[in-house]
Structure 1
């Protein structure tokens, strides 16, 4: 190689260090931004998970309440009906057993 070619290539080599430093800085800032994005996504995911769990708990509690009210109504109807039938049966037995 001639001296002229060495001089022409020299700015490229000198510029190479600056470009590497720029790339390292860019990579570091991108890594930092990626960590921020990851943290934000995890936070949002946890919030969504909590909301979903709250919704499921509310839904299950509502279903449990509906079933509980259903059985209360059934027991009230059969309990009241059973009591009335017992009273009518006792009156009927009393009337039929009179001499």
Structure 2
């Protein structure tokens, strides 16, 4: 029986070391999980900022195109409006081909 007790004492430090390593791994995993949550939060925050900037850029681009289109219609209306350039061109064509 003395031999069994001696073997138990020799194996005890290995068992305790195993428990210590498991505890260390659990603590490391908990720390890693916390850091991953921080990275996820940072990425989501950055993604939201990028989405906001992209939407602002798209809105600005669409407003610029809308303004250009509006100005184009103003030019067309001014040209074809009362006594506009189109009337002058038609009159000139009739004068040229009419003779």
TM-score (norm 1): 0.74
- Consecutive aligned runs of 4 or more in structure 1 exceeding 3 Å deviation: 1-8
What whole-Å deviation, never above 9, does each CA across 1:51-80 have from its counterpart, x for those lacking one? 110110011000000000000011011114
Q: How many residues align?
A: 86
Question: How far does residue 46 in structure 1 lie from its aligned partner after superposition?
Answer: 0.4
Matches within 5 A, 1:1-99: 3-82=5-84
Give the structure, 1 or 2, with the largest relative contact order (CA under 8 Å, sep 6 or more).
Answer: 2
TM-score (norm 2): 0.74
2: distance between equivalents of 1:22 and 1:66? 65
1: distance between equivalents of 2:83 and 2:12? 105
The root-mean-square deviation of aligned C-alpha atoms, in Å, is 2.4
Q: Unpaired runs of 5+ in structure 1?
A: 86-99
